């Protein structure tokens, strides 16, 4: 089993942090810091709570005011990297908002260790004009981590990130940032641009389609970016998004769709086989997806789309596919017994539906 992320804040890492702080701050007492970190609540603290607790303890035990403490952390931080180093930008998030002249550059510096995308959100709320201009300047930074901060930090719907209402309401304001980064040399940055566009598509699809039509065909990397950016619209069968990538109405014959078993228990896997034939006279693009219509706790259904295949078929060519879908409970999905549906979509349109029964564990 993979290690829980919260356990990355291990006794060894805390000891390393305490030692490093003592080396740059003569008033820092490693034993006192370690004692206060590992309080009675520590074993039950989850990931974010552990990070925030460490931030609070650094504030308590480092000497001086915020600006002096920030200088201490500048000296300490080079010894840390990866996910656990996010605590340095979290410190700037929690305690630095009254000192933007020092804190905003610190966000850019600490993002080199671990992204400051979450810590930047309160600054975007409090200093909107200043931060928008700052992000526009970061797009020219020599380091790709800082360039990515400009786009990822400004995402309208950043997962687990604080909401920034003015960007969410009018995402066109970040378009100049995305324009500058769409051809970035780093795929890491380009994927962030795609994620931002996917966020925007959920509330402003017309804006995303306008951007996509402007960018399409400029470069292979940009076309790949757009395919990822429009993934949400493609799954919804958005006609303009499908047409942009050449997915049109096609002639076909569904020769077979077999589900097995048609009655299964929570925890089992559903298998299905699909046989489809292109009956048109010219080659055509086939985008095949399957949709599970899950039963919810209130007995209604909710749909989730899964891609099967995307390829060009010659006239008369057949495509035979086999897939499995697991129905074990996850942290992100709980299954409920009842009659479920499996639908097959071709180029965004449903072409077949089969029922199957999901039963409680006996």
At 5 the pLDDT is: 83
> Residue range 289-305: average pLDDT?
96
Instruction: Write the pLDDT tens digit of every residue in 218-255.
Output: 999 999 999 999 999 999 999 999 999 999 999 999 99
Q: Are residues 52 and 118 in contact, defined by beta-carbon separation less than 8 angstroms? A: no
Q: Is the pLDDT of residue 355 over 80?
A: yes
Q: Is the pLDDT of residue 3 over 80?
A: no
SS3 label, residue 92: helix
> Residue range 196-210: average pLDDT?
97
Q: Are residues 151 and 175 in contact, defined by beta-carbon separation less than 8 angstroms? A: no
pTM for the model: 0.89
Tokens encoding 38: 């590992």
Q: Is the pLDDT of residue 1 over 70?
A: no
The structure tokens 């499908």 sit at 242
Average pLDDT, the chain: 96
Q: Is the pLDDT of residue 212 over 50?
A: yes
At 39 the pLDDT is: 96
Say how far apart CA 271 and CA 157 lie, in whole Å. Answer: 35
Q: Which domains does the chain have, with CATH numbers?
A: 5-244 (1.25.40.290), 252-359 (2.60.40.10)
**Edge-to-edge strand list for the sheet holding 269-278:** 252-260, 269-278, 318-326
At 145 the pLDDT is: 98
At 95 the pLDDT is: 98
> Residue range 199-203: average pLDDT?
97
Q: Are residues 244 and 212 in contact, defined by beta-carbon separation less than 8 angstroms? A: yes
H or E element that contains 11 = helix 11-24
> Residue range 13-18: average pLDDT?
97
Say how far apart CA 177 and CA 129 lie, in whole Å. Answer: 14
Instruction: Write the pLDDT tens digit of every residue in 130-141.
Output: 999 999 999 999
Say how far apart CA 192 and CA 95 lie, in whole Å. Answer: 27
At 89 the pLDDT is: 97
Residues 6+ apart with CB under 8 A from 292: 303, 304, 306, 325, 340, 341, 342
Instruction: Write the pLDDT tens digit of every residue in 39-89.
Output: 999 999 999 999 999 999 999 999 999 999 999 999 999 999 998 999 999
Say how far apart CA 75 and CA 58 lie, in whole Å. Answer: 14
- Helices 128-138 and 144-152: crossing angle in degrees, nearest 10, is 140
Say how far apart CA 131 and CA 49 lie, in whole Å. Answer: 27
> Residue range 147-158: average pLDDT?
97
> Residue range 18-36: average pLDDT?
97
Q: Are residues 272 and 352 in contact, defined by beta-carbon separation less than 8 angstroms? A: no
> Residue range 102-131: average pLDDT?
98
SS3 label, residue 119: coil
């Amino acid at each position: 089993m993979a290690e829980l992320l919260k356990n990355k804040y291990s006794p060894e890492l805390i000891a390393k942090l305490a030692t490093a702080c003592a080396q740059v701050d003569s008033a820092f007492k490693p034993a006192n810091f370690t004692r206060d970190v590992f309080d009675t609540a520590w074993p039950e603290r989850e990931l974010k709570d552990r990070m925030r607790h460490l931030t609070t303890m650094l504030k308590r035990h480092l000497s001086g005011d915020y600006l002096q403490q920030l200088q201490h952390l500048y000296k300490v931080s080079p010894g840390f990297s990866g996910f656990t180093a996010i605590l340095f930008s979290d410190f700037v998030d929690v305690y630095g908002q009254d000192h933007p002249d020092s804190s905003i550059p610190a966000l850019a510096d600490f993002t080199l260790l671990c992204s400051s995308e979450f810590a930047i959100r309160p600054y975007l709320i409090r200093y909107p004009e200043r931060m928008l201009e700052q992000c526009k300047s970061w797009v020219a930074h020599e380091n790709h981590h800082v360039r990515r901060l400009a786009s990822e930090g400004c995402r309208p719907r950043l997962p687990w990130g604080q909401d920034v209402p003015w960007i969410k309401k009018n995402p066109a304001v970040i378009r100049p940032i995305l324009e500058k980064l769409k051809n970035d040399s780093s795929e890491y940055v380009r994927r962030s641009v795609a994620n931002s566009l996917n966020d925007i598509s959920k509330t402003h699809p017309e804006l995303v389609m306008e951007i996509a039509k402007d960018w399409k065909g400029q470069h292979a990397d940009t076309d790949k970016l757009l395919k990822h950016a429009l993934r949400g619209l493609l799954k919804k069968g958005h006609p303009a998004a499908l047409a942009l990538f050449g997915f049109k109405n096609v002639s076909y014959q569904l020769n077979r769709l077999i589900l097995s078993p048609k009655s299964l228990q929570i925890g089992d896997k559903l298998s299905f086989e699909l046989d489809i034939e292109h009956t048109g006279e010219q080659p055509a693009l086939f985008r095949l997806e399957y949709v599970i219509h899950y039963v919810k706790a209130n007995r209604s259904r909710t749909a989730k789309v899964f891609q099967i295949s995307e390829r060009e078929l010659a006239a008369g060519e057949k495509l035979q596919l086999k897939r499995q879908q697991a129905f074990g409970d996850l942290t992100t999905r709980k299954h409920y017994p009842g009659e479920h549906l499996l639908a097959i979509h071709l180029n965004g349109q449903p072409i077949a539906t089969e029922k199957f029964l999901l039963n409680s564990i006996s």
